[in-house]
């Protein structure tokens, strides 16, 4: 023990880590009425970590060449020891990441945490959500299966509906007139380098904003639920008399992470093919379109929206408008009230939006 | 039970679970990264005897390394590991001198694999082979 104490002192006098720990862990106080939904950010960090780790492992055996990609993925699944586990964790993890991100954003909406002064937290989070959709889409092509090939064909085709630049944009995304080997090259670069770097950078910005502005208090269990921010000068939102991040809230984070991992591994071990239709096990054939090609579940609502509008452009415009509205919500919704039950119009839009999204997703699945 | 002791108990449980999970995950990752065993990379290599030219050599992948079969001036076939015993470069067959040269540090081996010059500490290991109906099988 003496040696441990001396090592600890050696670092302490050089780094002053006890002060850092006091500031960011034991002395970092959170609101007393904080709830489990606040731990979803930590769950997402763990998911991102698992995706990076399994992604690096897959890179060891994956070959980003249209002639070899499918065979290399098949070899990872069948020949490399535990390759199936690494790939399944990566594929299931990408779906889970989108699902947990949606829950994280819904809880932020429901509790009014996006309101001033946290507009930038919301905006960085919203951009992160879009980047995660982008990294999922680009990763979908890499196995070079019939599913990947044709889902990417359909997804990139939507860009062609944009007036004037649409056709050029579609060809730019694909690296040619149709999806082919050049598409694999650019999607691979985006998936393993560009997008992970962008996501990591934005996570850093998101966490910096969280730390700098302070954690919002949930509007529940309080007498005063209106936003107290005055907007005259910068103030870090403190929570005197709150609960410390370490050990109290870290245990909640750890509990949520364990619950997430239990669900995640249940899917990986007991229902691994939930995200893999038959076409995922057939090599890409550019001359044979499979029947009923559908995008991943998180794009089904977008897919169905495009189908129900008479023109693809109109469908894209509606989606663009909804996404722009959501991105700018903190700048549009300037109301002080944060409790959802005291915001009937917001609550109606919130519930209605979820019902429409789920309805379109289910409709898209069965259409 | 006081809340602090409940917290400690929960912390120990979660910490233990995390440690057990991390330990469990280590094995698949090690297996995933481990080089393939000899059984997985194939045991024997066969090719026609005509692939080995007169006075010449044929190099081939053998159990994850490189092997060489040489037909000497006397017409005799010999098979060796082509990995130089000095620092692991691949030796080259010098047809005119009838010996193996390692171009990295000028190690030389005789046609029977013995060191004749340079820094290699040991002879080239011989590989077992057989010739049946014009087919050479190494391993």
Q: What is the DSSP string of A296-365?
A: -GGGHHHHHHHHHSSSHHHHHHHHHHHHHHHHTHHHH---SB--GGG-HHHHHHHHHHHHHHHHHHHHHH
pLDDT at position A228 over 90: no
Q: Going by DSSP bridges, is the β-strand pair B77-81/B92-94 parallel, antiparallel, or unpaired?
A: unpaired
CATH code for position B64: 2.102.10.10
Question: Which of A246, A254, A264, A268 to substitute to test the interface with B, most B CBs within 10 Å?
Answer: A254
Asked if A248 lies within 8 A of B7 by C-beta distance, the reply is yes
Phi and psi at residue B60, to the nearest 5°? -155, 155
Q: For the residues B60-66, what does the mean pLDDT come to?
A: 89
What are the tens digits of pLDDT across the range A196-208?
A: 999 999 999 999 9
In a domain, A103, yes or no: yes
CA distance B41 to chain A (A): 11
Q: Which two tokens stand for residue A343?
A: 């915001």
- Across the strands, what pairs with B126? B80
Q: What is the pLDDT of residue B32?
A: 96
Mean pLDDT of chain A: 95
Instruction: Compute the distance between CA of residue B71 and CA of residue B49 in angstroms, rounded to an integer.
Output: 10
Q: What is the pLDDT of residue B42?
A: 63
Compute the half-sphere exposure of residue B98: CA atoms within 13 Å on the CB side of its CA: 12
Please report the number of interchain residue pairs, chain A to chain B, with beta-carbon separation below 8 angstroms. 38
Listed in sequence order, the DSSP H helices in A16-68 are 17-21, 40-61
pLDDT at position A15 over 90: yes
pLDDT at position A61 over 70: yes
CA distance A62 to chain B (A): 13
CA distance B32 to chain A (A): 5
pLDDT at position A112 over 70: yes
Nearest to A135 by CA among A103, A91, A180, A170: A91
Are B78 and B72 in contact, with CB atoms under 8 Å apart? yes
Q: Which two tokens stand for residue A333?
A: 């919704």
Which chain A residues have a beta carbon less than 8 Å from that of B32? 57, 60, 80-83, 85-86
CA distance B121 to chain A (A): 35
Q: What is the pLDDT of residue A363?
A: 96
Nearest CA in chain A to B18: A258
In a domain, A87, yes or no: yes
User: What residues contact B27, with CB distance under 8 A and at least 6 apart?
Assistant: none
Q: Tell me: cis bond preceding A117? Omega within 30 of 0 counts.
A: yes
B7, B33, B34 member nearest A251 (Cβ): B7
Same domain, B119 and B59: yes
Q: For the residues A127-142, what does the mean pLDDT come to?
A: 97
Q: Which two tokens stand for residue A251?
A: 């245990």
In a domain, A296, yes or no: no
Question: Which of A251, A252, A253, A258 to substitute to test the interface with B, most B CBs within 10 Å?
Answer: A251
B11, B32, B34 member nearest A251 (Cβ): B11
Instruction: Compute the distance between CA of residue A42 and CA of residue A215 in angstroms, rounded to an integer.
Output: 14
Asked if B29 lies within 8 A of A82 by C-beta distance, the reply is yes
Which chain A residues have a beta carbon less than 8 Å from that of B15? 254
Asked if A82 lies within 8 A of B28 by C-beta distance, the reply is yes
Rounded to an integer, what is the distance from CA B113 to the centroid of its chain? 17
Nearest to A179 by CA among A141, A222, A126: A141
Mean pLDDT of chain B: 91
What are the tens digits of pLDDT across the range A285-300?
A: 999 999 888 889 999 9
Same domain, B70 and B106: yes
Q: For the residues A252-278, what does the mean pLDDT come to?
A: 95
Q: What is the pLDDT of residue A294?
A: 87
- Across the strands, what pairs with B48? B135
Same domain, B61 and B128: yes
Q: DSSP secondary structure string, A265-282?
A: HHHHHH-GGGG--GGGGS
Are A318 and A311 in contact, with CB atoms under 8 Å apart? no
Split at pLDDT 50, 70, 90, the class of B37 is: confident
pLDDT at position B3 over 70: no
Nearest to A186 by CA among A168, A196, A173, A170: A173
Instruction: Compute the distance between CA of residue A175 and CA of residue A153 in angstroms, rounded to an integer.
Output: 12
Q: For the residues A168-180, what does the mean pLDDT come to?
A: 95
CATH code for position A278: 1.20.810.10
Residues of B with CB under 8 A from a CB of A: 7, 10-11, 14-15, 17-18, 21, 28-29, 31-34, 40
Q: What is the pLDDT of residue B39?
A: 59
Question: Which of B15, B21, B27, B28 to substitute to test the interface with A, most A CBs within 10 Å?
Answer: B28
Q: What is the pLDDT of residue B1?
A: 46
How many structural domains are present in chain B? Answer: 2
B11, B17, B32 member nearest A83 (Cβ): B32
Q: For the residues A231-247, what does the mean pLDDT come to?
A: 93
The structure tokens 């903190």 sit at: A330
CA distance B21 to chain A (A): 10
Q: For the residues A122-149, what does the mean pLDDT come to?
A: 97
Which one has a higher pLDDT value, A74 or A162?
A74
Instruction: Compute the distance between CA of residue A189 and CA of residue A156 in angstroms, rounded to an integer.
Output: 17
**In 3-state terms, what secondary structure has residue A230?**
coil
In a domain, A227, yes or no: no
b vs e for A70-80, b when ≥16 Cβ sit within 10 Å of the residue's Cβ? bebbeebbeeb
A80, A82, A251 member nearest B10 (Cβ): A251
Instruction: Compute the distance between CA of residue A156 and CA of residue A287 in angstroms, rounded to an integer.
Output: 18
What are the tens digits of pLDDT across the range A322-346?
A: 999 999 999 999 999 999 999 999 9
Are A255 and B14 in contact, with CB atoms under 8 Å apart? yes
A80, A254, A255 member nearest B32 (Cβ): A80
Ramachandran quadrant class, A50 (left: phi over 0; alpha: psi -120 to 50; beta: rest): alpha
Q: For the residues A55-60, what does the mean pLDDT come to?
A: 98
What ipTM was reported for this prediction?
A: 0.86
Same domain, B74 and B92: yes
High-pLDDT (> 90) share of chain A, %: 90
Same domain, B109 and B44: yes
State how far the alpha carbon of A250 is from the alpha carbons of A121, A205, B37, in Å: 21, 21, 43
Same domain, B80 and B65: yes
Same domain, B46 and B8: no
How many structural domains are present in chain A? Answer: 1
Same domain, B69 and B101: yes
Same domain, B79 and B94: yes
Which residue range(s) make up the domain with B28? 1-34
Same domain, B56 and B12: no
Which residue range(s) make up the domain with A267? 32-217+243-290
Q: What is the pLDDT of residue A291?
A: 86
Nearest CA in chain A to B9: A251
What are the tens digits of pLDDT across the range B83-134?
A: 999 999 999 999 899 999 999 999 999 999 999 999 999 999 999 999 999 9
Same domain, B26 and B46: no
């Amino acid at each position: 023990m003496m040696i441990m104490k001396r090592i600890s002192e050696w670092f302490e006098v050089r780094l002053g880590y006890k002060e850092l720990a006091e500031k960011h862990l034991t002395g970092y106080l959170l609101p007393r009425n904080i709830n489990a939904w606040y731990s979803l950010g930590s769950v997402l960090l763990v998911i991102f970590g698992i995706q990076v780790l399994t992604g690096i492992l897959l890179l060891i055996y994956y070959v980003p060449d249209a002639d070899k990609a499918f065979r290399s993925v098949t070899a990872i699944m069948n020949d490399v020891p535990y390759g199936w586990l690494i790939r399944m964790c990566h594929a299931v993890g990408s779906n889970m990441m989108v699902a947990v991100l949606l829950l994280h954003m819904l809880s932020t909406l429901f509790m009014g945490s996006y309101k001033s002064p946290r507009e930038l937290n919301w905006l960085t989070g919203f951009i992160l959500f879009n980047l995660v959709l982008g990294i999922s889409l680009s990763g979908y092509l890499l196995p070079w299966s019939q599913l990947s090939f044709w889902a990417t064909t359909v997804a990139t085709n939507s860009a062609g509906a944009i007036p004037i630049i649409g056709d050029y944009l579609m060809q730019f995304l694909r690296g040619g007139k149709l999806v082919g080997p050049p598409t694999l090259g650019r999607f691979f670069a985006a998936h393993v380098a560009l997008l992970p770097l962008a996501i990591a950078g934005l996570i850093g910005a998101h966490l910096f904003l969280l730390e700098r502005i302070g954690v919002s208090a949930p509007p529940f269990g309080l007498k005063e639920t209106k936003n107290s921010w005055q907007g005259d000068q910068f103030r870090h939102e403190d929570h005197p008399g709150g609960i410390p991040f370490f050990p109290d809230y870290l245990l909640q984070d750890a509990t949520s992470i364990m619950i997430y991992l239990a669900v995640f591994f249940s899917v990986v071990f007991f229902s691994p093919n939930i995200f893999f239709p038959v076409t995922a096990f057939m090599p890409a054939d550019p001359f044979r379109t499979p029947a009923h090609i559908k995008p991943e579940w998180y794009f089904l609502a977008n897919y169905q929206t495009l189908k129900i509008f008479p023109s693809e452009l109109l469908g894209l415009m509606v989606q663009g408008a909804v996404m722009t509205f959501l991105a700018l919500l903190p700048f549009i919704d300037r109301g002080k009230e944060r409790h959802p039950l005291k915001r009937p119009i917001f609550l109606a839009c919130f519930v209605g939006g979820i019902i429409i999204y789920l309805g379109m997703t289910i409709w898209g699945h069965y259409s | 039970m006081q809340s602090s002791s409940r917290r400690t108990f929960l912390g120990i449980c979660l910490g233990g679970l995390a440690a057990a999970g991390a330990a469990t995950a280590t094995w698949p990752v090690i297996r995933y990264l481990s080089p393939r065993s000899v059984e997985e990379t194939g045991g024997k290599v066969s090719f026609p005897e005509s692939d080995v030219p007169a006075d010449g050599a044929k190099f081939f992948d053998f159990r994850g390394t490189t092997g060489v079969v040489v037909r000497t001036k006397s017409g005799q076939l010999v098979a060796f590991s082509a990995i130089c015993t000095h620092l692991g470069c691949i030796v080259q067959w010098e047809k005119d001198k009838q010996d193996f040269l390692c171009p990295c540090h000028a190690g030389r081996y005789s046609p029977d694999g013995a060191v004749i010059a340079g820094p290699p500490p040991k002879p080239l290991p011989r590989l077992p082979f057989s010739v049946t109906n014009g087919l050479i099988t190494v391993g």
